[in-house]
Amino acid sequence: MEKYPQCQSCGMTFDECHKQFIAKEKDGSDSMYCMYCYTNGEFTDPNATMEDMIEIAVPHFTRKIGDEAAARKYMTEVVSSLTRWKICIT
């Protein structure tokens, strides 16, 4: 299975179907974030917490796998490993 980069805020995978969602920096270069989390070099919700992001992501992933508890567990693991939240924690 091929490993794709992912948004370092919400965990969206930038596979072939989702690479158009990569956000841009102010200079026009690709960001490490998706356009839902980051626009023109700034977070769309700069006050969001890691817990907020998990709550936003769980319903989307639940629709994909059909199990909210499993989605919450998975998204907690994924989101807590992402660059945005590691920077905030350290």
Instruction: Classify residue 6: in a domain, yes or no.
Output: no
Instruction: Classify residue 4: in a domain, yes or no.
Output: no
Per-residue confidence (pLDDT) for residue 90, from 0 to 100: 43
Instruction: Classify residue 80: in a domain, yes or no.
Output: yes
Instruction: Classify residue 47: in a domain, yes or no.
Output: yes
Average model confidence (pLDDT) for the chain?
A: 90
Beta strand residue intervals within 2-89, DSSP E: 22-24, 30-34, 38-39, 42-43
Whole-model pTM? 0.84
Instruction: Classify residue 5: in a domain, yes or no.
Output: no
4 pLDDT above the threshold of 90 = no
**Residues 6+ positions from 4 with CB-CB distance below 8 Å:** 13, 14, 15
Instruction: Classify residue 2: in a domain, yes or no.
Output: no
69 pLDDT above the threshold of 70 = yes
Range of the domain at 37: 19-89
Instruction: Classify residue 46: in a domain, yes or no.
Output: yes
Q: Collapsing DSSP states into helix, strand and coil, what is residue 32?
A: strand
Q: How many domains does the chain have?
A: 1
Of 51, 57, 50, the C-alpha closest to 74 is 57
Instruction: Classify residue 40: in a domain, yes or no.
Output: yes
